[in-house]
Amino acid sequence: MNLLPLFALLGIVGLLVILFVVSRRRRQSSIPSAVQLRVVDMLAFRNLVDPEEEAYLRRCVLPSQFHALQRARMRAAADYINATIHNSGVLLQVGQAAALSTEPSVAASGKELIQIALRLRILALLALAKVYLRILMPGAPLSVGRLAERYHDATGLAARLLLLQKLRAA
């Protein structure tokens, strides 16, 4: 009963995983930039989750084709949602940096951006769960319309905040 080598191996693997995660985070810039943002085509996303579009497809194709098509559409929607989750993290970083500003209007906008980005992330995570459910069960109901509006609000506020910071710096 020599479990010591097994525990040592598990410990080494765990340490390597921790080191990998830490080094990956260090490589990411501490100052967020637009380069870190992922492209999210909200018009295409809305089309993928539109109930009327789904009803149209259901009428126009065979049920077996519809299920395969619907699963593909939901995987594409999941990709957009994952990009939204990533972008909400970048917006959180921008908001946190701005919230530390000595300029009251910039700090207030930063705090507002933090709140909107957090709400956006929560909505995106809920939407992702719904989309994964739809991949498993293509006929299940889906409603993620608020996600698109929240994303628009967050990105608009971030753009105004960055413009405000540039104007204050000039």
Cα distance between residue 147 and residue 53, in whole Å: 18
49-53 mean pLDDT? 86
Single out the residue of 88, 80, 63, 67 nearest to residue 153, CA to CA. 88
The Cβ-side half-sphere exposure at 37, using a 13 Å CA radius, reads 15
pLDDT digits (tens, 9 = 90+) for 107-128: 888 898 898 888 888 888 888 8
pLDDT band at residue 10 using 50, 70 and 90 as cut-offs: low
3-state DSSP assignment of residue 28: coil
> Which pTM value belongs to this model?
0.69
